[in-house]
Amino acid sequence: MSIEPYTPAEDRYDKAEFRRVGRSGLVLPPISLGFWQNFGDERDLADLRAIVRRAFDLGVTHFDLANNYGPPPGSAEANLGTILRADLSAHRDELIISSKAGYTMWPGPYGDHGSRKYLLASLDQSLERLGLDYVDIFYHHREDPETPLEETMGALAQAVRSGRALYAGISNYSPERTREAARILADLGTPLLIHQPSYSLFNRHVEAGLLEVLEDIGAGAAVFSPLQQGLLTDRYLDGVPTGSRATQGRFLTVDQATDETYLERARGLNAIAQERGQTLAQMALAWVLRHDTVTTALVGASSVAQLEANIAGRENLEFGDDELTAIDELAIDGTGR
């Protein structure tokens, strides 16, 4: 089936809002499109193109990837590269495209972790798959206790100095290692722009110091899994649908989705969301964005309709004290694990 040529909506920025990344000059949309689990080769490329097109039409300018996103690893970058060439090559300067390296990508001792050898080789491979000369943000994807932090941060700084990345970021780092990474990068003349941690109503570890560190060092946060793999949507409130993520068992299991403690808390949160005129997912996104330090929330999308519903979560980000108190009684760290 042929696909009509794409012309972006002329009003794509009329209602779009953007949030500053720490104390940098960069801004990002409050909801960004993540490519973690929904853009691999098992998906129809026409469906992926429709999602990316609609996201851009709605003012979503940030697309987040990693070398290992798929499945299989690398396929999300390759698929987005195809879409960029087909639909968005004329709009590259309107986009923030990020990628990461830190997990296993090829056999042997140089295909994983945080060495200069691995990070820069992986970045070159990512650029080839994406068909780009540079990414806007390049992250180290996880801490590597076996590699000196000076080497890992030196590789990020080299990526920026070489023009293969515009900004440097880290993901899944502790507050202490985040502060040290920022110090090293500052000494190298490449500020730490952003940290990408998991954060949701049911996963609140960033509140134990990380958000404060990011504020101190002037970095922003791009939070992933704000919907806790779908547990913070209405998808599992009345059973586990056939073909849902829980039935696939990769990052979410049926046992997690049917746990009585989870269901009690999720249904209570859903009632609060309905009083706010939102879905549970929309309220969950608004809740993580209530922090000024959180620049953007990364969401995946399996359809255009799901994308549109999630992006609508940016429309009501205000919470009253009573609402936050009621939410805190149900937003218990560790729920659903």
- Checking if the pLDDT of 37 tops 90, the result is no
Can you give the C-alpha Rg of the chain in angstroms?
Answer: 19
Instruction: Give 42's pLDDT tier (boundaries 50, 70, 90).
Output: very high
Domain membership of residue 130 as a residue range:
19-230+286-318
Query: Does residue 101 fall inside a structural domain?
Result: yes
Q: Crossing angle, helix 280-288 and helix 260-275, to 10 degrees? A: 80
Task: Tell me the pLDDT tens digit for each residue of 183-216.
Answer: 999 999 999 999 999 999 999 999 999 999 999 9
Query: Does residue 181 fall inside a structural domain?
Result: yes
Instruction: Supply the pLDDT for residue 236.
Output: 85
Considering only the C-alpha atoms of the chain, give the largest distance between any 2 of them, rounded to a whole number of Å: 54
Instruction: Give 3's pLDDT tier (boundaries 50, 70, 90).
Output: confident
Locate tokens 């004329």: which residue? 90
Instruction: Supply the pLDDT for residue 251.
Output: 64
CB atoms within 10 A of CB 215: 16
Query: Does residue 122 fall inside a structural domain?
Result: yes
CB atoms within 10 A of CB 327: 18
Output DSSP code: residue 220: E
Return the structure tokens found at 149: 């932090």
Query: Does residue 93 fall inside a structural domain?
Result: yes
Q: What is the pTM of this model?
A: 0.95
Q: What DSSP element (H or E) covers 284?
A: helix 280-288
CB 329 within 8 A of CB 275: no
Instruction: Supply the pLDDT for residue 245.
Output: 64
Q: Crossing angle, helix 175-187 and helix 210-217, to 10 degrees? A: 20
CB atoms within 10 A of CB 249: 11
Query: Does residue 242 fall inside a structural domain?
Result: no
Closest C-alpha among 126, 217, 106 to residue 169: 217
CA distance 61 to 50: 15
Contacts for 209 with CB less than 8 Å, ≥ 6 apart = 175
What value does the mean pLDDT of the chain take?
95
Find the length of the chain: 337
- Checking if the pLDDT of 249 tops 60, the result is no
Using DSSP, state whether 332 is helix, strand or coil. coil
CB 210 within 8 A of CB 197: yes
Using DSSP, state whether 80 is helix, strand or coil. helix
CB 116 within 8 A of CB 80: no
Query: Does residue 112 fall inside a structural domain?
Result: yes
The domain that holds 193 is classified in CATH as 3.20.20.100
Query: Does residue 241 fall inside a structural domain?
Result: no
Query: Does residue 7 fall inside a structural domain?
Result: no
Work out how many domains the chain is built from and give that number: 1
Return the structure tokens found at 325: 């108190």
